[in-house]
Amino acid sequence: MTRPPALLIVHQGALGDLVCIFPLIAALRSHFRPVGILCQEPLGRLAAAEGLVEAWFPIEAAWTASLFAGDAGLEARRLLSPYAHVLVFSRSEGLVSSLQRMGNTRVFRIPPQPPKNQRIHVAEHALEHVQACGLLPGRERMLPESAPDAPSPVEKSRSRSVLIHPGSGSPRKRWPFSGFWDVAVQLAALRLRPEFLIGPAEQDVLPELVRREATVHRPGDGIELLALLRSAAAYIGNDSGVSHLAAWAGLPSVVIFGPTDPVRWRPRGRSVEIVQPPLDCWPCFETAAENCAAADCLARITPGKVMEAFQRVVRRR
| pLDDT tens for each residue of 279-302 | 676 678 887 777 676 667 898 999
**More reliable by pLDDT, 309 or 150:** 309
**More reliable by pLDDT, 200 or 241:** 241
Residue 211: the pLDDT is 95
pTM: 0.93
Residue 297: the pLDDT is 85
Range of lowest pLDDT (92-96, 223-227, 301-305): 92-96
Integer Cα distance of 238 and 173 in angstroms:
7
Instruction: Please report the sign of the dihedral spanned by the C-alpha atoms of residue 166, residue 171, residue 173, residue 176.
Output: positive
Closest residue by Cα to residue 255 from 80, 19, 50: 19
The pLDDT > 70 percentage for the chain reads 91
Range of lowest pLDDT (25-34, 58-67, 199-208): 199-208
pLDDT(139) > 80: no
**What tens digit of pLDDT does each residue of 36-66 get?**
999 999 999 999 999 999 999 999 999 999 9
Q: For the residues 90-102, what does the mean pLDDT come to?
A: 90
CATH says 7-132 is which class? alpha beta
Identity of the highest mean pLDDT range in 198-207, 236-245, 296-305: 236-245
CATH says 153-314 is which class? alpha beta
Residue 315: the pLDDT is 86
Q: Buried (b) or exposed (e) across 252-265, using 16+ Cβ within 10 A?
A: bbbbbbbbbbbebb
When the pLDDT of each residue in the chain is averaged and rounded to a whole number, the result is 90
Q: Do domains 7-132 and 153-314 have the same CATH topology?
A: yes
**More reliable by pLDDT, 181 or 284:** 181
**What tens digit of pLDDT does each residue of 245-275 get?**
999 999 999 999 999 999 999 999 889 999 9
Domain borders along the chain are 7-132, 153-314
In DSSP notation, the chain reads -PPPPPEEEEE---HHHHHHTHHHHHHHTTT-SSEEEEE-HHHHHHHHHTTS-SEEEETTSGGGHHHHTTS--HHHHHHHTT-SEEEEE---HHHHHHHHTTSS-EEEEE-SS--TT----HHHHHHHHHHHTTSS-TT-----SS-TTPPPGGGGTT--EEEEE---SSGGGPPPHHHHHHHHHHHHHTT-EEEEE--GGGGGGHHHHHHTT--EE--SSHHHHHHHHHTSSEEEEESSHHHHHHHHTT--EEEE-SSS-HHHH---SSSEEEE----TT---TTT-SS--TT-HHHHT--HHHHHHHHHHHHTT-
**More reliable by pLDDT, 286 or 308:** 308
Integer Cα distance of 104 and 83 in angstroms:
9
pLDDT(154) > 50: no
Closest residue by Cα to residue 270 from 292, 253, 245, 293: 253
pLDDT(170) > 50: yes
Range of lowest pLDDT (134-143, 196-205, 248-257): 134-143
Residue 151: the pLDDT is 54
